[in-house]
Amino acid sequence: MSAWFWVPRDGGPLPDTRTVGGKGRQLGALSNLAARHGSRVPRFVVLRTEAFERWADAGVGPNAASDLLPEPLASGLTTVLRESGLQEASLAVRSSATREDGSSASFAGQFDSVLSVPGNDPRRLHAAIRQVWASAAGARAVAYQAQQTGEADARIMMAVVLQEMVEPAAAGVGFAIDPVTGDLDSAVVSAVFGLGEGLVSGELDADSWHVAKGGSLRYTGAHKTHAVRSASGGGTVLTPLDPALAEAPVLSDAEAREVARTVRAISEELGAPQDIEWAITDEGGTRSLVLLQTRPVTTRPRATASAAPSAGVSYLPPPSADDPTGPGRRVWDNSNIIESYSGVTTPLTFSFARGVYEDVYRQFCRLMGVSEDLIAESHGVFAYMLGLVRGRVYYSLINWYRLIALLPGFEWNRSFMERMMGVREALEAPPPAPDSGSRMRDLFRLLRMLARMVREHGRLKHEVPAFHARVRGTLDPLKGQDLSTWDEQRIAALYRKLERELLQHWRPPLVNDFFAMIFFGVLGRLIERWLPDAPVTLGNDLLCGEGGIISTEPARRVMALARRAREEAAPAAAFAAEPDDAALWVRLGADPALTSFRAALDEYIEAFGDRCLEELKLETVTLREDPSFLIRMVRAYAGQGSIDPDAAREHERKIRRGAEALVRGQLSGWRRPFFFWVLRGARARVRDRENLRFERTRVFGIVRRMVLGLGAAFTRDGRLREVREVFWLTTPEALAVAEGKRPATDLRELVAQRSVQFRAWQEELPPPDRFESTGPLGEWVGPREAEIPRPGIGAAREGDLTGTGCCPGVVRAPVRIVRDPREATNLTGRILVAERTDPGWTLLFPAAQGLLVQRGSLLSHSAIVAREMGLPCVVGIGGLLDTLTDGEVVEMDGTTGVVRRMTGERG
């Protein structure tokens, strides 16, 4: 029997990792040490690798011929558990591969573990062992081994730990050193209520303590809403916490110090800093520390950007004592980002967007020459650039200033950032730029960054087309693929491929956005200083009429389709006979006489099906799912008669030529060629910025299809009730389920809880556009609920309104207030009024006489597309929707930004 099992004895010798694996041997060492440090290790036995070699190939995993293990292994297991007192216990069945929990590679999260398995239920216990065995050949474990060791083909040998479960009051992880900064004097303790599974998987936010060797500590509390508990029938379940515990520390300070002391002591004994999973039991009011497993800290940073805390450890760098923004001060602002994420956003979209922001801006800083040390130190800046406030996305504004401060020339470039982000109010006392301690070093950093900027700008003319080609190469093979029929593992693998091939190579859009900010900002300053008497719209006039902007193409194609629907007999008859848009779509696909027209619609959807309202919200129903909006717009334009977009473009070119002539007439010498060099740069970068954002739309579109595919997979086996419930999960949660890293037994309960909360937020008035908080972060890395101001009700304004003129032209007409473009009625002869617009609104632009937008800036999407279409436009009009009424006549001036109300007139 000893050939297949190892039963540890107090103080006994430890077997080789080749027979019990890394985790089994480490657990044996921990068991020998725990008692002398005032703690204990739950009872366990190990199924050796010899059993894996002998029987694993005979059939493992859910498709094995039998759930039961073969004899004599099955009877041997029963005997060992009975003799060890574990047969009646609830067991944790954990992987223990021979290289797992090593000093150079932890394999953390690469293999399966199964919790709360009854020791007296052979069928479930044997199935759990088979599942752990099967994970040794899993794709993620093989890929991890290849990356860490270079041995892609070497077989992973697997032992299995069978350990007594404890039902703790609290659990967590303890690091002997700070895993983020590498600080040897600071132990880090993270804790959650209930089982530690929720922390290790990253599913739950954790309280954390940084404990210095002298005993002083720094506490960072999390807003806690749930705990993972053992389920009565086996497995685990996510359960709601008593609301009174939401802000309560999981541990007392004394307990946090005790965990830190124990972790340090065991690390000293084992000769290396350890990462220890622990639990605190509460039996009759007596709380005791239990140690569950240990591994060497493998993420000790050399101050590199890859250094990050273990899964579940929430890290935000505390403000330093001399931080002029004040301890804990956070400013929440939704400028510009509300164009992309308006209203309530689902957990899946927010978590995906937050992860993308974190990753791409790390890439950007690395590209700009920010040192790896500084990037690592600024982990919290990148991780918390966005927050969710009652379901609505906000910038964590101070972190954006901290990001810009990482670059040399902070005082110079912060105003450009404010202009690009549309920040209406500059931050007072922003965080200072990091001090290198040497003016010469600062000068060197600045010169080096300038050299990089020159180099990167020169590369753009080649890298932008190459990026478009990369996107096509990655996405085009997926055309026509029905991801709803794929299994979840295949979809997760596709997502990881997309991360590797696109999201981790977002260099050209980042560089282009940076130079759009620089050139646009410099152009504005040159106009202010060299042409002080020029019209206020000179910058807009010089940028209009550029051409080559993809965002104008959907409207042109829809107008071409409308022309066919009006002039060709078969489509005209179909539109006249069928008033219902959905029914007409079906008819267009069934009638042979309409084949050509339906093909043109299909071509439009293939090219622009993801360019829709709220296109960056993954939960949005696109034209691919529901083409009714496209049919409605074709019908509307067909009924309005001929609209000539080319006439508007020629008008824009005329304005542009006049603006260029004005500049030539007032500038001479070296100023003139320099001005036009900056102008060419601004035009090219703004144009490419808009076109690269269309590539972003396409990438989000394929991610949306992947997510819906996961929803379909989860629904097929009953883990979700319907496909679109998947959007109530976070992206890490959905991928963890798909990749087998977390159980899916609680998905329905989790979805039900979140959907109720987020739908309640949809019924509320939104929080203010900008406000401050000072306490620790709450749920969804936003402010705590108590610090969110009550929503304000907009106040109507008397008299004329003023905003930012974006495209010249004076229009006097009734306004049509549109809150949902899908419900927009006839816009002919009217000025379109909206709170904000995104690319999906552009289909409405050609029909309108003018455009007034409450939100936005000169570089917002509505401003750029309106300029290109020659549509008079004013953005950034405070109180617009609270002041105007539908049908009221106004006179708008796209040059001055003034909107005059024609009292008493209605249209």
Closest Cα partner for 311 from 198, 181, 228, 144?
Answer: 198
Q: Is the pLDDT of residue 386 over 50?
A: yes
Alpha carbon separation from 57 to 440, 453, 618 (Å, rounded)? 64, 56, 42
State mean pLDDT over 44-71. 71
Paired sense of beta strands 274-283 and 236-240, if any: unpaired
Query: In the prediction, which pLDDT does 439 show?
Result: 58
User: H/E element holding 149?
Assistant: helix 139-149
Place of tokens 């339906």: 598
Angle formed by the axes of helices 553-567 and 569-577, nearest 10°: 90
pLDDT in tens, 725-773: 999 999 988 988 888 766 566 688 889 888 988 988 888 888 888 888 8
User: H/E element holding 118?
Assistant: strand 114-118
Token pair belonging to 465: 């087309």
User: H/E element holding 867?
Assistant: helix 861-869
Query: Taking phi first (over 0 means left), then psi (-120 to 50 degrees means alpha), and beta for anything else, what does residue 408 get?
Result: beta
Closest Cα partner for 48 from 133, 113, 108?
Answer: 133
Beta bridge partners of 212: 186
pLDDT in tens, 335-382: 778 878 888 999 999 999 998 888 888 888 888 788 877 887 787 788
Token pair belonging to 182: 């590498």
Q: Is the pLDDT of residue 867 over 50?
A: yes
Distance CA 399, CA 377 (A): 13
Place of tokens 């101050």: 303
Q: Give counts: helices (H), strands (E), the chain.
A: 28, 25
Dihedral of the alpha carbons of 210, 211, 213, 214, in degrees to the nearest 10: 120
Query: In the prediction, which pLDDT does 65 show?
Result: 47
CB atoms under 10 Å from CB of 256, counted, come to 25
State mean pLDDT over 61-80. 74
CB atoms under 10 Å from CB of 98, counted, come to 24
- Per the prediction, the chain carries an average pLDDT of 81
> Is the omega angle on the peptide bond into residue 554 within 30 degrees of 0, that is, cis?
no
Distance CA 286, CA 37 (A): 17
Distance CA 761, CA 320 (A): 35
Query: In the prediction, which pLDDT does 36 show?
Result: 79
pLDDT in tens, 579-630: 898 899 999 988 899 999 999 999 999 999 998 888 889 999 998 989 988 8
Q: Is the pLDDT of residue 320 over 50?
A: no
**Cβ-proximal residues to 55 (8 Å cutoff; 6+ apart), any chain:** 69, 70, 73
Distance CA 750, CA 212 (A): 37
Q: What is the largest CA-CA distance in the chain?
A: 98
- Identify the top-confidence range among 267-276, 321-330, 536-545, 825-834: 825-834
Question: Secondary structure of the chain: what % helix, strand, coil (to 5)?
Answer: 50, 15, 35
Q: Are 262 and 38 in contact (CB under 8 A)?
A: yes
State mean pLDDT over 863-871. 75
Distance CA 243, CA 613 (A): 37
Alpha helices in 368-438 (DSSP H): 372-377, 379-383, 397-405, 410-421
Token pair belonging to 481: 């693929």
Dihedral sign for Cα 772, 773, 779, 781, please: positive
**Cβ-proximal residues to 665 (8 Å cutoff; 6+ apart), any chain:** none
CB atoms under 10 Å from CB of 137, counted, come to 14
- Write the DSSP string, 454-469: HHHHHHHHHHHHHHHH
- Encode burial over 16-33: b for 16+ CB neighbours within 10 A, e otherwise: ebebbbbbbbbbbbbbbb
Closest Cα partner for 112 from 94, 90, 91, 127?
Answer: 94
Query: In the prediction, which pLDDT does 295 show?
Result: 82
* Eight-state DSSP code of residue 144: H
Pick the range with the lowest mean pLDDT from 89-103, 299-313, 622-636: 299-313
Place of tokens 């927010």: 350
User: H/E element holding 595?
Assistant: helix 595-608
- Backbone phi and psi for residue 326, each to the nearest 5 degrees, phi listed first: 90, 145
Distance CA 61, CA 133 (A): 7
**Cβ-proximal residues to 467 (8 Å cutoff; 6+ apart), any chain:** 507, 508, 509, 692, 695
Distance CA 734, CA 488 (A): 10
Type of residue found at 900: R
Distance CA 182, CA 370 (A): 19
Alpha carbon separation from 798 to 408, 646, 803, 879, 893 (Å, rounded)? 45, 38, 15, 10, 18
